[in-house]
Structure 1
Amino acid sequence: MKYKLGDFVRFVDERREGYVTRIIDDQMIGVTDEDDFEIPVLASKVTSVHGHVSKRDKTDVVHDTPVVPAAEFKTKGIYLGVVSDAKAASVVHFHLINNTSFQLLVAHSTGKQESYKGEYAGIVAPQSATEIYSAQLADIQLWPEFQLQALYFTRQQTAPHEPLVFKEKFKAKDFAGAKKPLPVLNQNGWLIRLDEDDLVIDAEKLKESFFKPAQEKQQVDKPGNEVDLHIEKLRQDHQFMNSSEILNIQLEHFKKALDAAIVHQLHEITFIHGAGNGILRHELHKQLGKHQKVKTFLDARKEKFGYGATKVILK
């Protein structure tokens, strides 16, 4: 198998081209065309398009790095930056970001059920990044364990670092946060720190924390008059979740918003749940029907929401 996720290929027997978005097995791949339709095809029936070469196919060349003044020498700042493919959004690319002043000799492997595969080996220059792995975002539960090692090198008079060893089996929660600007890459994506700063415990602050009085009353934010329960409004990692997990998150958000409305003595509040299959609407109505602080509830403004929202009148 010579193709990798994100490679741009052209079909041999027909006028069609697209990006590799799935590795099915040793002979079959999935190619997504310009209509966002993924087509299973034999790897032998496509060919790489000239000019679309993965960064990992390029040979790393070691260069002497400029001398950095001792006061400006950065010893921390190694990350994995995960960005969506510009053409195939279902694919994400992992970049090793070296925001230090060291050169890094990096080896990256993946492992699954006692089966291991070397993915990348090379030198990552200071203040630079290189792509080391690609994967289907929706298949995160099937991803192998990451095993990454890095050796630090510099010709300057700087104390040597212990080798960096990182092992991780990623889960959906690791990508639950919002995307942010990534150092060096100047793109938005998920940032995973590999060289965490050593934990320093301040004994005096720790002692003080034991004697701080507990807050007498927890602050509850006032909700808006309309609360949108669509999962894409609540969580950015919803594509990793099954329907049961999504429903639980929506119901939890509903309960918190309803409680907050009661605390702030709102007269009414509207929950936007969408029409869909009606399961969320049914669950909301079931809980509202037995809530002691709810006077009544009804479908909210059909001309605006259709049957996709419920207005709650509070006592």
Structure 2
Amino acid sequence: MKYKLGDFVRFVDERMEGYVTRIIDENMIGVTGEDDFEIPVLASKVTSVYGHQSGGNAAGINPAATIIPTAEFKAKGVYLGVVGDTKAASVVHFNLVNDTSYQLLATFKTEKQQYKGEYIGIVAPNSAVVIYSAQLADIQLWPKFNLQILYYTQQDMKPETPLLFNDKFKAKDFSGAKKTVPVINQPGWLIRLDEPEMMLDAEKLKESFFKPAAEKQQVDKPKGEVDLHIEKLRDDYQFINSQEILHIQLDYFKKSLDAAIVHQLPDITFIHGAGNGILRHELHKQLGKHPKVQTFMDARKEKFGYGATKVLLK
């Protein structure tokens, strides 16, 4: 397969173009155009459009040594940075980020019934290279990653222990907030590869068990308008199925309603959107039997349309 995710291509027989957003098999690819509709097409029926680059940042390899004063030599800072493609939003790129003063000699294979070599090369100091690309929504289908890294420098430095990352990603691995990925300076999920395992602080752990009840039960005062759209609640919403999304939204709704009651708010508005109406229906069902709810109604239509519910509390 000569194409990879994020490549910009043009159809041979039609006046259409777009980005490769899926590798179906050795002969078929999925191409997404400006209308965000993915079209399956034979790879032989498209051609590359040169001058376009995908959102990944591939660093040039420069194995030449640069002498760095020992005091300024940076020994730590190896990451996997997962960032979205700037053109094909459904695609993410795995960047091997070298924020150290070493050259990294890296090999990367994927494992899914069989092993497949994906990348081999040298990552220069303070640079990054894309080693893998994948469909964001297909995380459950992603293969297991096997990444091996050796450190190299001509300088008089004690050799670092080689790194081995051998794991399969799950949706929960991307549940945290996005951060700025070093070197490439793009927002994304950051996995530190050269950080030792966290050691539990026994005293802090003990303190967490013996906090006063009042401190444990402190409830923050909610805002008057609570947005339940999943993209407002979780950064990893692209990886979550519809059933889990509804569970997360209802859980946040319950906590916000309880907090409004604790703080004796006269009313609170939940923004649920119009959509297919499932979330609105579930909210209304629970509000209808809540002992602390006086009544509820559609919020101001000129502001929210039919996408919000105002709740009057007793």
| TM-score, with length taken from structure 1 | 0.90
- Deviations 1:53-88 (CA, angstroms, capped at 9, x unpaired): 7799x9964432221222221111100111111211
Q: Following TM superposition, by how much is the alpha carbon of 1:199 offset from its aligned partner in structure 2, in angstroms?
A: 4.2
Q: Indicate conservation of the 8 Å contact 2:82/2:189, yes or no.
A: yes
CA distance in 2, matches of 1:177, 1:211: 25
Which has the larger displacement, 265-274 or 207-216? 207-216
Q: Following TM superposition, by how much is the alpha carbon of 1:215 offset from its aligned partner in structure 2, in angstroms?
A: 2.7
Q: Indicate conservation of the 8 Å contact 2:98/2:125, yes or no.
A: yes
Q: Following TM superposition, by how much is the alpha carbon of 1:260 offset from its aligned partner in structure 2, in angstroms?
A: 0.6
Q: How does 1:284-295 map to 2 (within 5 A)?
A: 284-295=283-294
- 1:210 maps to 2:202: no
DSSP 3-state at the match of 1:132: strand
Counterpart position of 2:260? 261
Distance 1:188 1:6, change over 3 A: same
- Deviations 1:261-303 (CA, angstroms, capped at 9, x unpaired): 1111111111122222222122112222222222222222233
CA distance in 2, matches of 1:5, 1:211: 49
Q: How does 1:272-287 map to 2 (within 5 A)?
A: 272-287=271-286
CA distance in 2, matches of 1:65, 1:28: 43
Q: Indicate conservation of the 8 Å contact 1:55/1:130, yes or no.
A: no
Q: Following TM superposition, by how much is the alpha carbon of 1:138 offset from its aligned partner in structure 2, in angstroms?
A: 1.3
Structure 2: tracts of 5 or more residues without a match? none
**What one-letter code is carried by the residue in structure 2 that aligns with 1:206?**
A
- 1:90 maps to 2:90: yes
Distance 1:199 1:243, change over 3 A: closer
CA distance in 2, matches of 1:53, 1:86: 9
Counterpart position of 2:109? 109
Distance 1:304 1:195, change over 3 A: same
Distance 1:55 1:215, change over 3 A: closer
Q: How does 1:1-315 map to 2 (within 5 A)?
A: 1-52=1-52, 61-113=61-113, 115-197=114-196, 199=198, 206-207=202-203, 210=206, 213-217=210-214, 218-315=217-314
- Deviations 1:145-186 (CA, angstroms, capped at 9, x unpaired): 111000111111111111100022112222233322211112
Q: Indicate conservation of the 8 Å contact 1:296/1:314, yes or no.
A: yes
Which has the larger displacement, 228-237 or 134-143? 228-237
DSSP 3-state at the match of 1:161: coil
CA distance in 1, matches of 2:143, 2:253: 36
| TM-score, with length taken from structure 2 | 0.91
- Coordinate RMSD, CA, aligned: 2.3
% same residue: 71
Distance 1:85 1:53, change over 3 A: closer
Distance 1:211 1:137, change over 3 A: closer
Q: Following TM superposition, by how much is the alpha carbon of 1:229 offset from its aligned partner in structure 2, in angstroms?
A: 1.1
Distance 1:280 1:61, change over 3 A: closer
Q: Indicate conservation of the 8 Å contact 1:60/1:122, yes or no.
A: no
Q: Following TM superposition, by how much is the alpha carbon of 1:31 offset from its aligned partner in structure 2, in angstroms?
A: 1.5
**What one-letter code is carried by the residue in structure 2 that aligns with 1:22?**
R
Q: Give the paired residue count.
A: 310
CA distance in 2, matches of 1:101, 1:14: 49
DSSP 3-state at the match of 1:120: strand
Which has the larger displacement, 190-199 or 17-26? 190-199
**What one-letter code is carried by the residue in structure 1 that aligns with 2:102?**
F
